[in-house]
Structure 1
Amino acid sequence: MTVVKVRRASAEDVPALATLRRAWTEEQNGEVVDPNFEARFAEWFATESGRRVAWIASVDDRPIGMLNLAVFTRMPRPGVEPNRWGYIANVFVLEAHRDSGVGRLLVEEAVTFARDEDLVRLVLSPSPRSVPFYERAGFATTDRLMMWTPKA
């Protein structure tokens, strides 16, 4: 029986997270030559780690999945304590380990964190394939968000 361990990632996990991010990109786009990627990833992680929490899933100490959550604090207003909310992003599980509960374990960690930290909501932008997965995890589709994108 394969034992999956999920834990909060730290700075020591940056190489593993970068490897998973590269695997995700290459799964979608084929091999990408970018010799500076790992250094850019480490710089990004160092800059973002103050407002992000990442989790890493592993089997036999080999990284097989990840999730990161950005925490946003609303602007204070008189008489009301500012609340915080989270954005789940970059959920990825290596293909050989998909559909085995790894993604569920990662999302459960993020939801537990949100409850423990009193976040008022978690949001995400799912791929069409992942919508049923997130629905099973308790997320609901909403049409309350709007999005701006630059015109080409």
Structure 2
Amino acid sequence: MTEIEVRAARPAELETVAELRWRWVAEQDGLPGDGREAFVREFAAWMRENAATHHCLVVVRAGRVLGMAFLAVTARVPTPTAFSRACGDVQSVYVVPEARDGGLGGRLIDGVLRLAEELELERVTVHSSSRAVPAYRRRGFSVAPQLLQVPVRR
């Protein structure tokens, strides 16, 4: 059996991650064929510029990147007892369709949670698709009545 690795995306893989992001949106919403190359280039640049706050993990099997997940880290206002505070948000967890239902998404979530622990984050949130909710619940995520949201439209 081929070893599966979950790790930080390497600089040479940023375009591959951008391709995954394009593929995911195309899968969900459909996209025109044109614009892909520009998006990949710009998204890879965005990842480089935001690497300090948006940590990208990939799941790799036999040298092929099969999925991605981001942990977005946000500083929180200090308190008298904890000056350095931060929280995380799981974003853009995606596994290519041909590799789904084999636990790779769960491995990405586990990797994100390990990273959150290493970074000593206070909490981690996620806005999940209904299909993925059970995977998050298995890892300890739960509904928090105090965590409210309001959609902001432009």
TM-score by length of 2: 0.89
Task: Give the deviation of 1:120 after TM superposition.
Answer: 0.8
Task: Give the deviation of 1:46 after TM superposition.
Answer: 1.9
Task: Give the deviation of 1:101 after TM superposition.
Answer: 1.0
Alignment RMSD = 1.7
CA deviation map 1:3-26 (0-9, x unaligned): 322111132221110111111112
TM-score by length of 1: 0.90
Aligned pairs, number: 152
The aligned counterpart of 1:92 is: 94
CA deviation map 1:28-86 (0-9, x unaligned): 12343214101210221122111121111112111110000011111234453231111
Match of 1:140 among 130, 142, 148: 142
Task: Give the deviation of 1:138 after TM superposition.
Answer: 1.3
Alignment map for 1:21-40 (pairs within 5 Å): 21-32=21-32, 33-34=34-35, 35-40=37-42
The aligned counterpart of 2:72 is: 70
The aligned counterpart of 1:18 is: 18
Counterpart of 1:93 in structure 2: which amino acid? V
Name the SS of the counterpart of 1:66 in structure 2. Answer: strand
Q: Pick closer, same or farther for the CA change 1:79–1:31 going to 2, 3 Å.
A: closer
Paired residues of 2:15 and 2:41 also in contact (CA < 8 A): no
Q: Unpaired segments of 5 or more residues in structure 2?
A: none
Q: Provide the rounded CA distance (Å) in 2 between the counterparts of 1:144 and 1:78.
A: 22
Q: Unpaired segments of 5 or more residues in structure 1?
A: none
The aligned counterpart of 2:60 is: 58
- Between stretches 22-31 and 56-65, larger displacement belongs to 22-31
Q: Provide the rounded CA distance (Å) in 2 between the counterparts of 1:86 and 1:25.
A: 23
Q: Provide the rounded CA distance (Å) in 2 between the counterparts of 1:147 and 1:2.
A: 42
Match of 1:43 among 37, 42, 45: 45
Counterpart of 2:94 in structure 1: which amino acid? F
Q: % of aligned pairs identical?
A: 30
- Between stretches 55-64 and 2-11, larger displacement belongs to 2-11
Paired residues of 2:59 and 2:108 also in contact (CA < 8 A): yes
CA deviation map 1:104-134 (0-9, x unaligned): 1111111111112211111010111111111
The aligned counterpart of 2:115 is: 113
The aligned counterpart of 1:103 is: 105
After superposing on structure 2, the runs of 4+ consecutive aligned residues of structure 1 that deviate more than 4 Å are none
